[in-house]
């Protein structure tokens, strides 16, 4: 019984921290990507091409991280049951 309770509580704790961590990470990284893309556009219009490229690369990396999170989510959907 105590083994059941401890493994059950452990599952709850795992769900709590992993879901908060995943939610915060994806939201923050996606926000950073949006800010990067908007800044890149502004810099391009201000003829500061070099910095604009840096922002674009930065935003693309952030979007790739989000895409990886979505793919991981799809894998979990496939195997969760």
HEC string for the chain: CHHHHHHHHHHHHHHHHHHHHHHHHHHHHHHHHHHHHHHHHHHHHCCCHHHHHHHHHHHHHHHHHHHHHHHHHHHHHHHCC
Window 56-75: contact mask with another protein (x via CB under 8 A): ----------x---x--xx-
Taking CB under 8 A as the criterion, which residues in 38-57 touch another protein? 38-39, 41
List 2, 6, 33, 48, residue binding another protein (CB under 8 A):
33
- Binding residues vs another protein (CB under 8 A): 8, 11-12, 14-16, 18-20, 22-24, 26-28, 30-35, 37-39, 41, 66, 70, 73-74, 76-81
């Amino acid at each position: 019984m105590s083994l059941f309770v401890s493994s059950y509580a452990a599952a709850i704790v795992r769900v709590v921290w992993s879901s908060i961590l995943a939610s915060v990470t994806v939201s923050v990284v996606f926000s950073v990507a949006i800010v990067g893309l908007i800044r890149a556009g502004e810099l391009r219009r201000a003829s500061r091409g070099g910095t604009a490229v840096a922002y674009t690369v930065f935003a693309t990396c952030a979007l790739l991280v989000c895409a990886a999170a979505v793919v991981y989510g799809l894998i979990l959907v496939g195997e969760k049951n």
